[in-house]
Amino acid sequence: MARFHVIIPAAGSGSRMAMDAPKQYLKLKGKPLIHHVIQVFAQSTKVDTIHVVLNPDDTLWSAADNQLSQKMQIHYCGGATRAASVLNTLNAIETQIAADDWILVHDAARPGLSNALLNKLMNALQEDAVGGLLALPLADTLKRADVNQRVAMTLPRDDLWQAQTPQMFRFSTLKRALTEFKGTPTDEAEAIEAIGLMPKLISGELRNMKVTYPQDLVVLSALLDITS
């Protein structure tokens, strides 16, 4: 029976937050964002292992109280991109994992994932031939700007979704897709698409937003108060 393994890329600098520490170490309700992320997977009875991927030069992880789960392994093999970090980790854990085991890749700065949403994703995809990801149908009108930041075109939003994580694919499929991709994919799903497969979209939740800008912490904190 296929097992479930989680990869959390946490090697980024979080430059768009304009803060000294990488955003995965910023505090939300008294705990670093990455602690919230790990906690959800640690509580899941379906998840076998959790792999946190750090920058080789990371000095903040060891300074924090990070003994969060017996399932957790730390890998100082983060690359210059998310895709590189994930692929490096797949190579590092290959001897532990079966080819048809499921890999769930989740953002270190997306701490609003709920246990219910995680279970929804795994239950929906565990028998799927390809795998898939959480995503939200777009509700807002989209505008394409010109070089002067004036509207050049209104884009139809029909059938458009905003990708979230976790993104869940078989180990062998994901490794092949990331290895063969020409360039740098924006997420795992794009790499899977490039080898001719069609990931399934599973409806996510607004609270599963990614913290990218300083104001996102305020918004997310309010959302968690409402939905907890």
Mind listing the pLDDT tens digit for each residue in 154-192?
998 889 999 999 999 999 999 999 999 999 999 999 999
Say which residues have a Cβ less than 8 Å from residue 194's Cβ, sequence separation at least 6: 177, 180, 181, 182, 185
User: Domain map of the chain by residue range?
Assistant: 4-131+164-227
pLDDT of 73: 95
pLDDT of 213: 84
Q: pTM of the entire structure? A: 0.93
Select from 3.90.550.10, 3.40.190.10, 2.60.40.10, 3.40.50.1100 the CATH code of 4-131+164-227: 3.90.550.10
pLDDT in tens, 204-219: 999 999 998 888 888 9
pLDDT in tens, 64-81: 666 778 999 999 999 999
Banded model confidence at residue 62, pLDDT cuts 50, 70, 90: confident
CA nearest 53: which of 93, 20, 1?
93
Spatial separation of the C-alpha atoms in residues 217 and 184, rounded to whole Å = 28
Q: Are 21 and 15 in contact (CB under 8 A)?
A: no
Spatial separation of the C-alpha atoms in residues 166 and 113, rounded to whole Å = 9
pLDDT of 65: 63
Spatial separation of the C-alpha atoms in residues 137 and 125, rounded to whole Å = 19
Say whether pLDDT at 25 is over 80. yes
Using alpha carbons only, how large is the chain's radius of gyration in Å?
18
Banded model confidence at residue 224, pLDDT cuts 50, 70, 90: confident
pLDDT of 19: 58
